[in-house]
Chain A
Amino acid sequence: KQEVTQIPAALSVPEGENLVLNCSFTDSAIYNLQWFRQDPGKGLTSLLLIQSSQREQTSGRLNASLDKSSGRSTLYIAASQPGDSATYLCAVRREETSGSRLTFGEGTQLTVNP
């Protein structure tokens, strides 16, 4: 059974800092990995998608890397802003004969202080 772990569980930083969120998974037979953002009580917003054959993806101040063989991904946020405060979820996709399955980590709750 796939297990996804995110470290740290919570992070509080001053505005302007660069930061790294970590995600690890136990089964490297993944199809892709997706990073999401979730604001309190809201749905999930997709940030970055990395296919299993890719090493990294970038969008604006966000950069995600994937090392499939070691079962690790990192989300790098540059020049953090108070608006970045949210919970960040890492999820790995696996294809099974019965269908697609997305397994989530517990999330990192990020607070960026002005």
Chain B
Amino acid sequence: DTEVTQTPKHLVMGMTNKKSLKCEQHMGHRAMYWYKQKAKKPPELMFVYSYEKLSINESVPSRFSPECPNSSLLNLHLHALQPEDSALYLCASSQATGIIGYTFGSGTRLTVV
């Protein structure tokens, strides 16, 4: 298995809702990432998990809450989002060292209404 699987592919949520994005990989990668991508912009790093521990938080608002239950799973819990949070959310994984590059999932298209 050489893929990163993200679910759901599309999500529409109200500003008072609570939802979660899920990411899964079975490549034995020990680093996992959340990126946010707005239209016609490059992906921006949000969080990095290394060996299931949060190692980088790019000053992301607390309405985004990451979780790494085990080495294969990465979740992003969403609560009280704003319309400007609408974007493509990408999950990626890599080995902890950079011999092999990053593998990205197909993303979750999030719309906040």
Contact = CB atoms under 8 A, between A and B. Distances in A.
A93 B31 CA distance: 13
B98 A32 contact: yes
Among B92, B102, B107, max chain A CB count under 10 A is at: B102
Given A32-B98, A101-B48, A101-B56, A43 B42 contact: no
A34 B55 CA distance: 22
Contact of B90 (A32, A44, A98, A106): A44
A44 B104 contact: yes
Contacts, number: 65
Contacts of A42: 106-107
A89 interface: yes
A53 to B, nearest CB: 11
B109 interface: yes
A105 B42 contact: yes
Nearest to B94: A100
Contacts of B94: 100
Interface in A26-80: 31-32, 34, 36, 41-46, 49, 51
Interface string B33-58: 10000000111010010100001100
Given A99-B50, A99-B56, A100-B48, A49 B107 contact: no
How many residues of A sit at the interface, in one of the four size bands? 20 to 34
A39 to B, nearest CB: 10
A105 B44 CA distance: 10
Given A36-B104, A46-B103, A95-B98, A106 B41 contact: yes
A93 B94 CA distance: 11
A86 interface: no
Given A41-B88, A89-B42, A107-B42, A102 B102 contact: yes
Contacts of B109: 41
Interface of B: 6, 31, 33, 41-43, 45, 48, 50, 55-56, 88, 90, 92, 94, 96-107, 109
Given A41-B88, A46-B102, A49-B100, 4 more contacts: A32-B98, A34-B102, A91-B102, A99-B50
